Amino acid sequence: VQLQASGGGLVQAGGSLRLSCAASGRTFSGCAVGWFRQAPGKEREFVAGISSGGTVTLYTDSVKGRVTISRDNAERTVFLQMNSLKPDDTAVYYCAADSTVSGFVPRSEKYYDYWGQGTLVTVSS
C-alpha cells in the first residue's frame, strides 16, 4: 500500500481544512487507517483512526467534536475533516495504514506498517 497525504495549508484559527489520504494497492480496503501529527519539537501523536469497514472511529481527546475521519473505499481515500482549528493543531499530518485484518483501530504507531509523506497544517492565531 502506498499512501499520499494532501490538503494541508495555512488557515486562521477557527477555520477548517480537509485532509485526504489517497492509497494505491488492492489491500487498502482491508486496512485500518490512522492520522497522526507531529508538531515542531514534539513527538508524533495519534489524531484519529478508522477501521477497514469504516464502522469504528477513534479520536484523541484534544480533537473530539472538531475532527471527523471518514473513508471511501471505492475511491481508496480517507478524509480528515478538521473544523474550529486552533494554533495547537499546527503540525505535519501523516496518514498510515495497518494491514492487519482485525477490525481494530490502533492508537499506537507501531501497528501501522505503511506511511504517507505528511502534509503541513499551519494554524495562525
Q: How many residues does the chain have?
A: 125
Identity of the residue numbered 47: V
pLDDT in the model for residue 34: 97
C-alpha separations of 4 from 8, 24, 84, 101, 102 in Å = 12, 9, 24, 21, 23
pLDDT in the model for residue 109: 95
Tens digit of each residue's pLDDT (9 = 90 or more) over 42-92: 999 999 999 999 999 999 999 999 999 999 989 999 999 999 999 999 999
